[in-house]
């Protein structure tokens, strides 16, 4: 499960599991209506600025085809990222102001129809504190348990009950990975795009997350880049995403990281597979 039209850190993981024959569904909670055009090559394009929702939907279609996944929209309106001091109020009707139980119910419908064994989402901080990321976390936590609860979400309205078995928080942008790549680049005499990231980490004093699951994904880094570039309004192909040579990425940090938040199956930590404990009992 994700909120952003850009799937970022999960792309290579999805490609890996698709290659193994695992069906993958991305539920996108908003249409990115208040998103900015981050690619400098497209900034100032009036058509894109006036039709950002439609443009991003087409970008998602292209990325979905590249990855071979399924994707559905939850239908909520982007909240935007409030900026300033004090922060301005969130816009009326946006996703972050939706009723949590109601929005979770819409997600329950998707879960009961698709029947995922594993769900991934943002942690309680949203990865970074975007209000829609945090809301995505909230509704996913309710829906994970609620998908099996016919008292809260009756079958007649939400579909037949179903219980997913594991829930993970996406932790692809973790500090150990960032430090490892930063130091590897400097050791080779190359410029690192991560210096500012690490300085911001000091400012925020964020609590380090527990990385429970390290999934080898290096064979899928190239397809990740193709899917990222498909999100042209948000990704500059000459930007920081692509400044780390592929061979260094594969050598220094060939895995994708997750934090196991809930499990209804027995598993041993650390894991190397989101389906650990599920495959063994299949």
Q: Name the β-bridge partners of 170.
A: 258
Q: What element of type H or E holds 250? A: helix 246-252
- Would the CA dihedral through 8, 126, 117, 64 be positive or negative? negative
Which residues in 55-79 are b (16+ Cβ under 10 Å) and which e? bbbebbeebbebbebebeebebbbb
Q: Check if the beta carbon of residue 79 is closer than 8 Å to that of residue 94.
A: yes
Place of tokens 């990231």: 197
The two most distant CA atoms of the chain are separated, in Å, by: 62
Closest CA to 166 of 256, 27, 259, 264: 264
Closest CA to 77 of 44, 52, 110: 52
- Quick one: how far is CA 108 from the chain centroid? 18
Please tell me whether 53 is known to bind a ligand: no
Q: Check if the beta carbon of residue 36 is closer than 8 Å to that of residue 55.
A: no
Q: Provide the annotated binding site for Zn(2+).
A: 133
Q: Provide the annotated binding site.
A: 133
């Amino acid at each position: 499960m994700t909120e952003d039209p850009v799937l970022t850190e999960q792309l290579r993981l999805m490609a890996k599991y698709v290659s193994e024959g695992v069906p993958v569904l991305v539920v996108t909670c908003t249409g990115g209506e208040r998103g900015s055009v981050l690619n400098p090559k497209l900034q100032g394009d009036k058509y894109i600025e006036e039709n950002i929702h439609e443009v991003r939907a087409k970008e998602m279609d292209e990325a979905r085809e590249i990855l071979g996944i399924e994707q559905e929209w939850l239908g909520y309106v982007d909240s935007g990222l409030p900026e300033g001091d004090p922060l301005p109020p969130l816009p009326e009707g946006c996703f972050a102001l939706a009723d949590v139980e109601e929005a979770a119910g819409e997600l329950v419908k998707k879960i009961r129809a698709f029947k995922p064994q594993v769900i991934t989402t943002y942690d309680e901080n949203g990865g970074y504190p975007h209000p829609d990321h945090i809301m995505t976390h909230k509704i996913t936590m309710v829906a994970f348990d609620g998908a099996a609860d016919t008292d809260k979400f009756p079958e007649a309205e939400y579909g037949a009950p179903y219980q997913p078995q594991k829930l993970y928080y996406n932790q692809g942008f973790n500090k150990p990975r960032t430090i490892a790549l930063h130091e590897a680049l400097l050791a080779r005499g190359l410029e690192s795009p991560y210096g500012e990231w690490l300085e911001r980490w000091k400012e925020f004093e964020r609590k380090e997350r527990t990385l429970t699951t390290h999934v080898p994904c290096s064979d899928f880094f190239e397809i990740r880049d193709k899917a990222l570039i498909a999100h042209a309004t948000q990704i500059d192909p000459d930007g920081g995403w692509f400044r780390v040579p592929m061979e260094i990425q594969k050598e220094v940090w060939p895995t994708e990281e997750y934090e196991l938040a809930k499990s209804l199956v027995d598993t041993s930590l650390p894991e190397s597979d989101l389906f650990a404990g599920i495959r063994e009992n299949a």
